Structure 1
Amino acid sequence: MNDQSLLAGRGLEAGYGPSQVLFGLDLEIRAGEVVTLLGRNGMGKSTTIKTLIGGLPLRRGEVRFGGRPIHGLSADAIARLGVAVVPEGRQCFPNLTVREHLIAFADRRNDSAAPWTLERLYALFPRLRERAGHMGNELSGGEQQMLAIARALSTNPRLLILDEATEGLAPVIREEIWQCLAQLKAAGQTTLVVDKYVERLLRLADRHFILERGRIVWHGSSAELDADRALWHRYLGV
């Protein structure tokens, strides 16, 4: 494993009951990078994330975060080490206001000189300031995604993971999310993104991993992925 790795999985095997989904998967994210996990539906992307963050038991292999093994730790313990997830489906709480979402989970899980305070989160997503008193179930899908990202950032994570970052959002809202992620990249936030909009991800990410039937079949830089459009057709269906 690279000494600069923030998160590294090696030889990951995992699944559900008798069904195996991941087959010897290797994945590495270095501090300060934006990395994507790409692949068609059903190839194991969400299972990979669950395995990395302790939501699914690892059958074989190892996961390290900040150089220490974390496989076997609970999802809560891994979160406290500085991993924050924006889950598929957003999972905003219907009985909490926007402001309550952002203060209930606030923490300092890294030593950043510019922590994510409530005011900084409102500056990143002005619409959340406007909706501060609204309940989670009173927001549009785009507003819920903004809230889910802001909630994750309120923990000041060392690693931010977004599962289906812009799924189901209107184009104008998707663009707001991309702009947000570009700001986070400029600020040095280490991020793992799962999304299907490859053209947009090329402009955002440093490196990409393509997943096919539970195995990493290609990884490389944005320039390398942009130069080989045959990969897009073969593995991504675009």
Structure 2
Amino acid sequence: MNAVPLLRCRGLEAGYGASRVLFGLDFDIRPGEVVALLGRNGMGKSTTIKTLVGGLRPQYGEILFDGRPIHAARADHIARLGVAIVPEGRQCFPNLTVREHLVAFAARRNGAAEPWTLARLYGLFPRLAERAGHMGNQLSGGEQQMLAIARALSTNPRLLILDEATEGLAPVIRDEIWRCLALLKAQGQTTLVVDKYVEKLLPLADRALILERGRIAWQGSSAALDARRELWSRYLGV
């Protein structure tokens, strides 16, 4: 695995108005890594992601993507560099069909050994092929999550971010999402994942970061976190 970070955050602080949420976050994500971002509700996970993708301007600190500073960049510029997000709540467009979602956002990026074409996306999620002509608001919650992941992959991202990857999904659909993430990991997709199902996420992740009140309370390998179950109770409520 390449030791040079694809994403690097140093001294990252962010918030809303006078309210500070993040306090001096330092972390890296290297190419090909799957990193789990963990913590109880309200600890700063979604704010961290919003800051990484340009939805919120940091108050202090820097974010480097492939060595380029992006902490002052607009969200559309960050997306064009190769950062794609599967947002919490899926945010599928009600007036676009499944196929239109996947075609409208498609982008080819240099260096993609096997780009995500429409055919490959349908192969990853056959249910989307069956529902290709259905509007976004005609899909079940699980189908919408598959569509949100496929839409992000259609941009052939260098960094894929999933905020609450399996929240609110039936167990059988959660298993389908875990299968997808395992396949992406095997293909070398660099990924940052937020999810509360730690037992399922740790076997997929190379490393984990735990947020506690806007600070990194612990970070290390997934194996190390798996061996320290007291951290699960202390920081994750598991």
Report if TM-score (shorter chain) is over 0.5.
yes
Partner of 1:36: helix, strand, or coil? strand
Look up the SS of the partner of 1:203 in the other structure.
coil
What's the counterpart of residue 116 of structure 1?
A: 116
Asked if structure 2 preserves the Cα contact closer than 8 Å seen for 1:86 and 1:161, the reply is yes
Pairwise mapping of residues 46-85 of structure 1 onto structure 2 (< 5 A)?
Answer: 46-85=46-85
* Aligned-partner Cα distance in 2 for 1:110–1:150: 19
Cross-structure match for 1:188:
188
Kindly state the Cα deviation for residue 109 of structure 1 after the two structures are TM-superposed. 2.8
**Contact residue 110 and residue 157 of structure 1 kept, 8 A:** no
| 1:27 Cα deviation from its structure 2 partner | 1.9
Conserved? CA contact 1:85–1:161, under 8 Å: yes
Task: Report the identity percentage.
Answer: 80
The count of residues paired between Structure 1 and Structure 2 equals 237
Would the aligned equivalents of 1:110 and 1:156 in 2 still touch at CA under 8 Å? Answer: no
Letter in 2 for 1:27: F
- C-alpha displacement at 1:116, in angstroms? 0.1
RMSD over aligned CA atoms reads: 0.9
1:61, distance to aligned residue in structure 2 (A): 0.3
1:169-188 deviation per Cα after TM superposition (whole angstroms, max 9, x unaligned): 00000000000000000000
Matches for 1:171-210 after TM superposition, within 5 Å: 171-210=171-210
Structure 1: state its 5+ residue gaps.
Answer: none
Deviation at 1:28, TM superposition (A): 1.0
Aligned to 2:233: 233
What is the CA–CA distance in structure 1 between the aligned matches of 2:110 and 2:125, rounded to whole Å?
22
Give 2:6's aligned amino acid.
L
SS at match of 1:185: helix
Q: Which runs of 5+ in 2 are unaligned?
A: none
Q: How does 1:1-238 map to 2 (within 5 A)?
A: 4-238=4-238
Output the TM-score relative to the length of structure 2: 0.98
SS state of the match for residue 57, structure 1?
coil
Alpha-carbon offset, residue 110 of structure 1: 4.1
Q: CA–CA distance in 2 between the matches of 1:182 and 1:8?
A: 24
SS in 1 for 2:202: helix
